Structure 1
Amino acid sequence: MSRRSTPPRGSRLPRSLVPLAGESLVGYVLRSAHRLDLTPLQFCQASGLAANRPDFVNGRKLLQLSDAELERFMTVTQLNESEVENLTLSPWKDAYPSIGLSLAGRWDKWIFHITPRFCPQCLTGNSTEMQRQLGGARMKYWHLPVAFACIEHNCILSDQCPRESFHARRSALSDSLIWNPNSLVAHPSQCRISTDISHRRSADRLCRTYLKAAEYSHVDKPDAEIINCQKRILNVLHGNITHEEFNITDLRLTAALITASWPKSSDFVKANLRYAVDAHVESLALRYPKSYRKESPIDSPPTTPIRSAALLSTADAILNSTEVYDLVNFMFQAAYPDREKNDATWAHNVNLQSITCSKKFKKISAPIMEYFNTVGMTSTRDVRDRRRLHSYNFAPCSIPSFLEPGWWDKHFSSVPTRNLRTARRLAAIKLVQLSMGGAQNEAAAYLDIPYKPAGRSQFRAWSESEYIFANSVRRLALELEESSSLIDYRKRRIALQDWAIDTDSWNYLLDSLSSSSSGQNPMLDNNKRQAVSMYIWTLVTNGEYIFAPAPLRALQSEIPDKLFYNRVYDYYRRLIRSSGGHYGQLRILLAPITRTLAQLIDEGEQVPDAGLYRLIRTNVRDG
C-alpha cells in the first residue's frame, strides 16, 4: 500500500474533514489521514501533534492541546477553535474530575484506558457516502473508564478484536494516541495492533481485522439499568444534569467500596454480572498480590467494558436505593471488620476526593469519616475537608442537652451502651457539632453542659462500637433535616437559666396537696421546692437534672453543698419514680405548670417572676 509524502508542516491540507458529533481526536486523525492517503503519524506531524518519532504520538494530546499546537492544528485542518477543543477531553474538565486533576498536573488513574473501547456499529457508520468511505465516529467518551455501553445501538462496548488471541502484548504501546501510527491500513475501522511486537517492521504484521458490526454478533446486550447508568454519565459530561443529581466521584467511590468488600457485596450485583466483578477483583489481586485492599488499587478502574458496566451500574443502583446508608455501612464493615485506621484505604480515598463528592454522598459516608478522621488529621487542609463533610441543615438550638428519649429509642437501640446517660449526652454534643461545626467542647458549651477532655476516652469505655454510634447520630441528623416542627431548646434553656418556682405558686401547690396515704405530712421546705423546680426545668428543656439551675441554694448558704444537693436530688428521684401517693399527686399538679412555661417561652412571652399559679389555675380549668 503506497503512501504520500508528509505535507509541509503548518500548511493547509488539501481536503479537510468536518468532525462528527461526539468524535474524538483519535477518530478525526484516523479518518483524515485515510482520506489523504497518509499514515496517522504523517498527519500528526503535519498538524503539529507529533515530533519526528517513527512509532509514537503522545496519548496525552487527547487531554488538551497547547496553545501552539491548537493554533497549528486549526491552520492545517481549517477548523475553528471550538471544533478542535471539542475533539479533546478538556471541555469536560468540570464535569469529570479526573480530567480537571490531570490538567492541573495531578495525573489520575481514571483518565484513560489501557486499551480503547468501541461500538462496532458506530465504527461501521451510516449510509452516507462519507461514512461508507471513512467509517463512523470514534466517540470521545469511549476513552474514559466510565464508558461501557453504546446507548444508540443498545450494546456493551467492545475492547477486543475478533483475532485477539493473535495479538502481541498490548501495554507496549498503551501510551500512544494511536497504535502503530506509521502504518497504512485499508480502512480507519481496521485493527492496528501488531501480531508480533518484536518484529523489526511491525507495520508488516498488523492485524488489520475489520472492527465492524458483522464481526460482533455475540456482543452482550445490556439491561435497562446499565443503559440508564451510561445515559446519566453522558448527561453529566454534557452538562444536562447537575453533579448533585448524578455524581461521577460518588460512583467511583462506591465502586471502590464494592471492590474492597467483595465477595460479601456480591448480593448487590445481578447474578449475570457477578462474574465480571469477580474477574475485576481477581485481576487486582494478581497485579497487587500483597494485601491489595490496603492499597490504592481498590480505586483502580475496571479494564474491560463489561467489568465497568457491572461495577458502575451496581454502584449506581446502590446510590439510588432507599437503603443506601445501610448498604454503604454494610460494605464498609465487610471490607474493614476491625476498622483500624491504617487499614481503611477507602476512607482515605473519600478524604482525597471529598471536594468533588455530592452533598448526599458526604452525608452517606459521614459516619465512616467521623470515626476515621477524629485522630491523625493535623493539617489545616485536612481539618477544612473534614468540616466540609459535616454539614447539616438543622438549627443547633433544636438539640436538647439530653437527647430526647424517643429519638434515642428510634435511632440508638442497636448501640451497645454501658452508661445511657453518658451516651445521650454525647449524642446531643455530636448533633450540635454536625449542625454548627467546631470541637466537642464548643458544642458542649453551646448546650450549657460541662465537658472534660477525657470525654472521648470515656466514650470508648462505654460503647462497644463507636462506629455504630456515629452512624446512629447521622441517621437522626438526616431526620432532623426533614422535620418542620423542631423545638428551640436553647431558647427554653436561656429563659429558665435562673428560674425557680415562685413563692405564690409554691404555696398554691401546697394548698392543693393532700396528706399522704400514711397520714404523715411530707416535708415541703425549700429543698423540695428546688427539686420541684428542677423537675419542671428538665421537662421543659429536656436537660439533665444535675445541670439544672439552683437559684434557691442561696437561701440555705449555711448548709454544705453536698448536703443540700443530696437532699434535693433525693426529692427529685422520688418525684420521677413515684406513681402514687404524695409524689404522684405532686406530679399531676406540676403538669400544667410545665405546659404553661413551655408555651410561654415558645410564643416569645416573658416568663413571670410571680403569679404563675394564676395561669396554672386557668390551664387546669381549661384542661
Structure 2
Amino acid sequence: MTTAATPHPGQVSTQPLPRSLVPLPDEEISGYLLRLAHRLEQTPQRLAELTGLQSFGAASIPVRMLLRTSAEETARLARACSLTPREAQALCLASLADRYPPADVVLHPLPGGRSGLWMQQAGKIASLDRWVFTRPVRYCPACLAGDASELQQRHGGAWKKLWRLPLVFACPLHRCLLTTRCPACQQPIGAAGGGLISRPCEVLHPAQCRAPAGDSAAAHAARARPPACGHRLDTAAPQVIDAAPLTHALAVQQRLLALLSAGSPATVHSMGVHVAVAEYVLDLRLVAGLIRCTWPVAAALAGPAPLADALADHVEQRRRRQYRPSDHGHHRTAFAVIYDAPPTDPLASAGLFTAAVGILTGETGTCADRLEPLLAATADTAAWRAFAHRASATCSPALRATIQTRLEALHQPTPRGHNLKSDNARRNGTDALRAYHRRMGHLVIVPTGDCRFDHRHIPQHMTDEWFDESFPDLTGISAVHLRRTAAIRLVQMSTGGSQFRAGGLLGIPPGRVMSSTVPVRAWTDDPHNGARLAAAIDAFARTLNTTTDLIDYGHRRAALHGWEIPPDDWHDLLSRLLAAHPHTHISWWQDRKRRLASVLVWAAVTQGDHRLAPLVMAEQRRANQGKTNMLVFGLQQARYRARREPASPTAALISLLTPYSQQLAAKIDHGSGQ
C-alpha cells in the first residue's frame, strides 16, 4: 500500500502527492477524489486531508466543495495533485455558473470568528439550491466503465458534473437514461452519509456502491455499522432508449447539453427571440413549476406514456406532501418546496423538460398560446402567483412580459368599492376568502368591508404628511419599518390575505416585508404604540374613502418599472444645472448620475421607497454578494451632500428633479406616456 507523508495534526499538507491523475472531461470533484484515492490505495478522507480539502481529523468532506472551493483550497488541491488552478477549479460545478445560475455561488467566512465557510447563491435567487443534486446522484453505467485506456480500466470512468444537474436525464453517447439506484441493493446512490462522499474512511473502487448492505436495522441494533453494498455500478445494464417516441426526449437532452457546453453560443432562441442561456435555464425552472402545479393540463406535451406516467407519479408524490403531519396537526408545506423541487427520477425529468422545452420553442405568439391554459388553471392560486412574481424577476424579458400580461387579463383586480358591507354577495365572498387563506395556512387579515380603495391607491412609502401628523414624537421603532408596515396593512384591509401577498402587490419583496413587520409587531406589544398605529392607519383609510380623485400609484409603479431618465431629458436638466453652476465638472454627471436621478424621480412619482426602486433591486442582483450596492451608496451620498451643502450642484439637481417628477406624474396619470 502506498503511504503518503503524514502532516502534523490540525494541519494540511501542501506537498505534491507521489502519483496523481489528470481529470477526465467533465469530471466532478468527488469522482476525481474517488479515482485518485483508489490509485493511491488511500481512503477518500485521507486523500482529502493530504490535498488540503479537509482539516485533519474532520468527520466528513464538506458537500459545498461540489459547487465551489475557496482560493486557498483550490491552490492546495492543484499543488498536491500537480494540476493547474484552472483544472482544479473545473472540478466544481461553479465552472458552469455563467450558463447555469443555480451553480453560481459565493463563499463567506462563518460569523463570530469561527473556522469554516458557508455558501450563498450569488444572484440571491430564492430556492435555486434545489436545482443542484448533491444527493442522490444520477449516473450512466457505460460511462462509469470508462474507455479502453489502462487507467480507466483500473480506476473507472468519470463521475460527470452534468449528472448533478436536473436538466440532464440521459446519456446521448450511449443512448440511455441515467439511473439513480444500485441494481443490487436498490438504494439511491450517494444518498447515505452527511458529506461529499459516503463512507470516506473505506477504500472502494470508484464505481462500487457505498450504500449499507444487508439488514441495516439488525446491524444498528447490534451497534455495528453494516458493510457497504459494494456492487459494481459500471456493470449494470443501461436503460437504453430504443422506442421511437423516446428519441424525441433524447433530442431534447442533446439540445440542453449543447446549451451547457462552454463552446456553444451564449444565446438561445426562445419564445421568438434570442435570450441568454442563463435566462433560458431560469425560464425552464419557472415553466417546469407551472407544468407541475397545473398537471395534467400539459400532459400532451410531456411525450409518450412512459414519460407522462412517470411525471404524473412524481406530481402525485409531491402533492401528497402538501399537508404534512406535525405535533399540532397538519401544516401546509410551502409551494416552492412542492412544485419547485425537480424530480430525481430521470424518466420523470425527461417528461418534464420535454414539455417545458416544447412550450418555450417557437414564436412568441405560439408560446403564449401554449402557456395560456396553464396560466388560466392557476391564475387564482395566490401561492403560484407569488412564486411566479419572484421567479420571473430573473427570467427572460419575453417570458416575464407574457406571464405578466396573461395573468393581468386572467386575474383582474377587485374594482374599487366592490367590498362594501352593504353588498351581501361580497360578504359571502369574504367568508370564502377567509376559508381559502386558512386552508392555505396564511396569516389572514379579512377585508374590513368598507374600503373604497385597493392596493393601487396605496403608496409604497407612506406620505410625509401622514407620518408627521401621526407620529410627531416617534421613539423605539424605525420610521422606514413603520411606513412600510402601514402600507401593507392598508392593502390587507382592502384586499385581505397575508402580509406577503400585500407586500407583493406593492412591489415589496418577502424579505423586506419580514424585516419591517416583525420589529413593528414587537413595538406594538406596547398597547400605547399599538393604539397609535391602528388610529393612524384608520385615519389614512378614512381619507382614502372620502377622496374622489385617488392617485393610481399602482399604474405609476407599472409605468416606471425599469424606467430611466431619457438622454434628451437628462441633457436638458444638465444644461439648466450648468446655468446655475457654470463651474460644475460635467464629466462627473454622466450615466451613473443619470441612474441615480432616475431612482429619485421614481421615488417621487410613485411615493415609493428608493431602496425598493427597480433600478436599485436590479443593481443589487448584479452586484456580487458582500459588495456595496453603488447605486444605494450614491443615493445616500447625494442626500447627505444636499442637506449639508444646500448651495451645492447636487442640491440644485435634486431641486430640478421636483418639477420634472411632477410633470412626469401628470403624463402617466393622463395616459400621455412616460
Give the TM-score normalised by the residue count of structure 1. 0.56
Structure 1 counterpart of 2:312: 278
The change in CA–CA distance for 1:68 and 1:235 in structure 2 (over 3 A counts) is same
Match of 1:112 among 133, 136, 146: 133
Q: Structure 2 matches for 1:450-489, cutoff 5 A? A: none
Matched, 1:191 2:209: yes
Amino acid paired to 1:263:
P
**Aligned mates of 2:162, 2:561 — CA distance in 1:** 40
Corresponding residue of 1:209: 231
Distance 1:275 1:4, change over 3 A: farther
For 1:361-380, list aligned pairs within 5 A: 361-368=399-406, 370=408, 375=455, 378=460
> Given the alignment of the two structures, is residue 48 of structure 1 paired with residue 52 of structure 2, yes or no?
yes
Corresponding residue for residue 265 of structure 1: 298
**Superposed CA offset, 1:400-421 (max 9, x none):** xxxxxxxxxxxxxxxxxxxxxx
Amino acid paired to 1:235: A
| 8 Å CA contact retained: 1:155, 1:220 | yes
The residue aligned with 1:127 is: 148
Q: Distance in 2 between matches of 1:119 and 1:292?
A: 33
**Are the counterparts in 2 of residues 55 and 182 from structure 1 also a CA contact under 8 Å?**
no
RMSD of aligned residue pairs (Cα, Å):
3.7
Corresponding residue pairs, total = 389
| In 2: Cα distance, 1:292 partner to 1:331 partner | 22
Within-5 A mapping of 1:544-563: none
- Cα deviation, residue 55, structure 1: 5.1
1:264 to 1:32, Cα distance in 2 relative to 1, 3 A: same
The residue identity in structure 2 corresponding to 1:326 is D
User: Are the equivalent residues in 2 in contact too, given 1:6–1:42 (CA < 8 A)?
Assistant: no
Contact kept? 1:292, 1:298, Cα under 8 Å: no
1:328-343 equivalence runs, <5 A: 328-336=371-379, 339=380, 343=381
Instruction: Please state how far the C-alpha of 1:57 moved relative to its aligned partner.
Output: 1.5
What is the distance in 2 between the residues matched to 1:33 and 1:135? 12
How big is the shift at 1:288?
A: 3.0
Give the share of equivalent positions with the same residue, in percent. Answer: 30
Q: Cα distance, 1:268 vs. partner?
A: 2.5
Distance 2:238 2:146 in 1: 16
Q: Which residue of 1 aligns with 2:200?
A: 181
How many Å apart are 1:241 and its aligned residue?
2.9
CA displacement at 1:348 relative to structure 2? 2.2
Structure 2 letter corresponding to 1:258: I
Would the aligned equivalents of 2:176 and 2:238 in 1 still touch at CA under 8 Å? Answer: no
Quickly say closer, same or farther: Cα 1:53–1:271, change in 2 above 3 A: farther
Match of residue 462 from structure 1 = none
Given that 2:302 and 2:308 are in contact with CA atoms closer than 8 Å, whether structure 1 keeps it comes out as yes
Q: How does 1:117-516 map to 2 (within 5 A)?
A: 117-165=138-186, 167=187, 171-173=191-193, 175-185=194-204, 187-195=205-213, 199=219, 205-212=227-234, 214-221=235-242, 223-239=246-262, 240-243=264-267, 244=275, 246=277, 247-272=280-305, 273-289=307-323, 294=335, 296-321=337-362, 323-336=366-379, 339=380, 343-368=381-406, 370=408, 375=455, 378=460
**SS of equivalent residue, structure 1 residue 216:** coil
> Using the alignment, how far apart are the partners of 2:181 and 2:337 within structure 1?
27
2:578 counterpart residue number: none
- Give the whole-Å Cα distance in 2 for the aligned partners of 1:70 and 1:328: 44
Distance 2:167 2:562 in 1: 38
- Higher CA-based Rg: 1
Check whether the contact 2:136–2:189 (CA below 8 A) recurs between aligned residues: no
Q: In the alignment, is the contact (CA less than 8 A) between 1:12 and 1:78 conserved in 2?
A: yes
For the 8 Å contact 1:265–1:331, the answer to whether it is kept is yes
Counterpart CA distance in 2 for 1:103 and 1:333 is 32
Q: Tell me the residue number matched to 1:474.
A: none
Aligned in 2, Cα 1:41/1:112: closer, same or farther, shift over 3 Å? same
Q: Distance in 2 between matches of 1:229 and 1:5?
A: 46
Question: How far apart are the structure 2 equivalents of 1:349 and 1:47?
Answer: 42
SS in 1 for 2:312: helix
- Following the alignment from structure 1 to structure 2, what is the Cα–Cα distance between the partners of residues 121 and 73? 28
What is the rounded CA distance, in whole Å, between the counterparts of 1:138 and 1:73 in structure 2? 18
State the alpha-carbon separation in 2 of the partners of residues 188 and 215 from structure 1: 14
- In structure 2, distance between residues paired with 1:159 and 1:117: 5
**Deviation of residue 10 (structure 1)?**
2.2
Shift of 1:356: 3.0
Q: How big is the shift at 1:161? A: 0.8
Asked whether the equivalents of residues 114 and 303 of structure 1 are also in contact (C-alpha less than 8 Å), the reply is: no
**Structure 2: how far apart are the matches of 1:368 and 1:78?**
56
Contact 2:189 2:210 in 1 (8 A): no
Q: 1:358 offset after TM fit, Å?
A: 1.5
For residues 86 and 373 of structure 1, the distance between their equivalents in structure 2, rounded to whole angstroms, comes to 49
1:66 paired with 2:89, answer: no
Deviations 1:349-408 (A, max 9, x none): 23223343122212321224546797489489979989xxxxxxxxxxxxxxxxxxxxxx
Flag the 1:292–1:282 CA change in 2: closer, same or farther, 3 A.
farther
> 2:542 matched to which residue of 1?
none
1:347 & 1:382 partners in 2: Cα distance? 10
Partner residue, 2:582: none
- What residue ranges of structure 1 are gaps of 5+ in the alignment? 387-429, 440-546, 548-623
Q: Which has the higher strand share?
A: 2
What whole-Å deviation, never above 9, does each CA across 1:27-82 have from its counterpart, x for those lacking one?
A: 11011000000111111111122234575211111111112211211111111110
1:11 Cα offset (Å): 2.1
Distance 1:324 1:139, change over 3 A: same
Please state if 1:85 is matched with 2:89: yes
